[in-house]
């Protein structure tokens, strides 16, 4: 009876020991395989961040931007160096750090005055620079949307912050619409120009027969005055 009991106890113990050994062996095997899973680092220099991210993703690696720096060879926006040399074997899921080129260092700025913002940005990108701040200002002489002034100026020391003043057009002024009746079209246009008013005509002739809006009506600079024209001479 005692022998049967001992044999009955030994069977579960043997099974438990076998299962435990299997688990230990599986754990060791998994870790060995995990630690031995390596991939080759691709070359990231002279390509864009998008291209680098795609290359690293295919290799099972991750991208981290470590910073930016000037480089006289690598164009702005492309990777100039990586912390792990290409061809090296590294563990899968490793983070690869890169530094992005700002292009060549420049010591003077191009003249941006009278350029549009998009034109100015195109000029600056070629030098690895960009506009840091845009400040709208009213201007009587510079067309709306064009740059009135820049800081720093072309002959000043270069800084990281490039600021431009962009014309918002002239200040808006309200006038009492003058009476253009019986004036020649040339006289009417000249008066409207002084008040920064636009002119449109309807009909034949060189004399203003009527107008819209009527004389005395409040009008703002930049608005349009519509003339009905007639044949004849001024002040008939």
Question: Mind listing the pLDDT tens digit for each residue in 31-44?
Answer: 555 555 899 999 99
- Domains 117-167 and 174-230 agree in fold: yes
Answer for the pair 135, 168: CB distance below 8 angstroms, yes or no.
Answer: no
What is the average per-residue pLDDT within 173-197? 93
174-230 to CATH, choices 3.30.10.20, 3.40.190.120, 3.40.190.10, 3.30.420.130: 3.30.10.20
Helices vs. strands in the chain: H and E counts, helices first = 4, 13
State pLDDT tens for residues 198-210.
999 999 999 999 9
- pLDDT above 70 (res 107): no
Residue 91: the pLDDT is: 94
40-101: which CATH architecture?
Answer: 2-Layer Sandwich (3.30)
User: What predicted TM-score, i.e. pTM, was given to this entire model?
Assistant: 0.40
What is the average per-residue pLDDT within 126-145? 90
Residue 105: the pLDDT is: 76
Domain boundaries, the chain: 1-36, 40-101, 117-167, 174-230
C-alpha distance from residue 230 to each of 3, 187, 204, 205, 210 (Å): 133, 15, 6, 4, 9
- pLDDT above 90 (res 28): no
117-167: which CATH architecture?
Answer: 2-Layer Sandwich (3.30)
Answer for the pair 152, 180: CB distance below 8 angstroms, yes or no.
Answer: no
């Amino acid at each position: 009876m005692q022998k049967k009991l001992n044999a009955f106890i030994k069977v579960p113990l043997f099974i438990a020991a076998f299962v435990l050994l299997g688990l230990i062996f599986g754990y060791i095997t998994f870790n060995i395989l995990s630690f031995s899973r390596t991939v080759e680092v691709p070359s990231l220099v002279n390509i864009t961040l998008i291209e680098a991210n795609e290359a690293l993703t295919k290799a099972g690696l991750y991208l981290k931007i470590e910073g930016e720096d000037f480089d006289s060879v690598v164009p702005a926006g492309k990777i100039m160096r990586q912390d792990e040399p290409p061809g090296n074997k590294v563990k899968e899921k490793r983070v690869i750090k890169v530094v992005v080129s700002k292009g060549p260092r420049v010591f003077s700025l191009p003249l941006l005055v009278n350029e549009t913002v998009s034109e100015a940005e195109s000029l600056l990108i070629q030098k690895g620079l960009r506009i840091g701040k845009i400040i709208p200002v009213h201007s009587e002489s510079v067309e709306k949307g064009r740059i009135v002034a820049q800081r720093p100026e072309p002959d000043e020391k270069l800084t990281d912050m490039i600021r431009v003043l962009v014309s918002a057009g002239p200040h808006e002024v309200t006038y009492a619409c003058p009476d253009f009746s019986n004036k020649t079209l040339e006289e009417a246009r000249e008066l409207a120009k002084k008040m920064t008013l636009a002119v449109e005509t309807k009909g034949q002739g060189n004399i203003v027969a009527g107008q819209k809006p009527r004389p005395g009506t409040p009008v703002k600079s930049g608005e349009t005055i519509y003339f009905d024209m007639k044949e004849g001479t001024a002040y008939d």
